[in-house]
Amino acid sequence: MADKPLNCVIVGSGPAGYTAAIYAARANMAPVLYTGQEPGGQLMITTDVENYPGYPDGIMGPQMMEDFKKQAERFGTDVRYEMITATDLSGEVKVLTTESGQKIEAYTVIISTGASARWLGLESEQRLMNKGVSACAVCDGFFFRGQEVIIVGAGDTAAEEASYLAKLCPKVHMLVRRDEMRASKIMQKRVMETENIQIHWNTETVEVLGEEEVTGAKVRNRVTGEESEIAANGFFVAIGHTPNTGIFKGQLDMEDSGYLITKPDSTKTNIEGVFASGDAQDHVYRQAVTAAGTGCMAALDAERYLTAKELI
């Protein structure tokens, strides 16, 4: 165990974590960042990112995260390729346990563990990932403009993404597994009133079709058992996300769905010195740029906390 606790430990290495690291490092907080199991986060499974400001020609997701990391390291962030598997956040000195069993002490903790998209779990879905299969219409919809697409899901995200896709694509097939949608009434109404969205009720996906890229999907009607095929170039999955916050259960306030609750207009959690940023606390916007924004906020909040407590 280190003699003096660290000023700041950042857990997670997506846009939120690295942005927090850049700000914390430049504020002389000597941050240590634990990357977690998926260094770089969700952008590592994206191809082109075209909506992040500052990249007029777009950039590949993995390259972007490499750049974020380099920028964080340039100012002295200590990036460690390990998971944090347990935490005790109760005292002024927080204790984090790494997967190798090491105990790390810190005055502040910035949580940016992100969320993982849920998938249907089909082999064909995995095989055609980034070859037409996507979990983010806002990120990837543009690549399918002028083409037919399928979207699976019936919550607010699926409804919102179907509406978004309908502005780009001549036809959007929405696969809803029950005979009703979970989305809010207003979102349902919007979807139902959009001419080029066709809702397929009681419909589940049997297989995503295509060899090198998506050509459609084989679907089954859950009432009649009848199987059919829908031709499409894009296959979007919008069946929810799971925030990676399991290790904080019982310590940090979170919604039933696991999203961390922060105080209004800040990144403060219910525990002093613990801040939450990025998708671990945001189920509404979930964009790289909004995650980066809250990562910045978390570092500023952590710095103010350390200064107020005269810990740095």
Q: Annotated catalytic sites, by residue?
A: 136, 139-140
Task: Look up residue 48 and give its two tokens.
Answer: 């082109």
The DSSP-derived string for 102-148 is: -EEEEEEEEE---EEE-----HHHHHTBTTTEES-HHHHGGGGTTS-
Nearer to ligand NDP, 69 or 200 (CB): 200
- Confirm if 257 and 283 have CB atoms less than 8 A apart: yes
Name the minimum Å distance from CB 218 to ligand NDP: 14
The 10 Å Cβ neighbour count of residue 220 is: 16
For 154, which DSSP code?
-
Nearer to ligand NDP, 6 or 219 (CB): 219
Helix (H, G, I), strand (E, B) or coil at 83: coil
The CB-nearest residue to ligand NDP is 155
- Confirm if 205 and 120 have CB atoms less than 8 A apart: yes
Name the minimum Å distance from CB 49 to ligand NDP: 20
Name the minimum Å distance from CB 205 to ligand NDP: 7
Nearer to ligand NDP, 178 or 189 (CB): 178
Nearer to ligand NDP, 139 or 152 (CB): 152
Binding-site ranges for ligand NDP (CB under 6 A): 120, 152-158, 160, 177-178, 182, 239-241, 283-284
Name the minimum Å distance from CB 181 to ligand NDP: 6
Task: Extract long-range pairs of 59-65: CB within 8 Å, 24+ residues apart.
Answer: 64/288, 65/13, 65/14, 65/15, 65/18, 65/39, 65/40, 65/41
CA angle 124, 127, 128 (to 5 degrees): 85
Question: What is the CA 176 to chain-centroid distance, rounded?
Answer: 23
Cα–Cα distance measured from residue 5 to residue 2, given in angstroms and rounded to the nearest whole number:
6
Name the one residue in this structure whose structure tokens are 């090198």. Answer: 212
Name the minimum Å distance from CB 252 to ligand NDP: 19
Nearer to ligand NDP, 24 or 214 (CB): 214
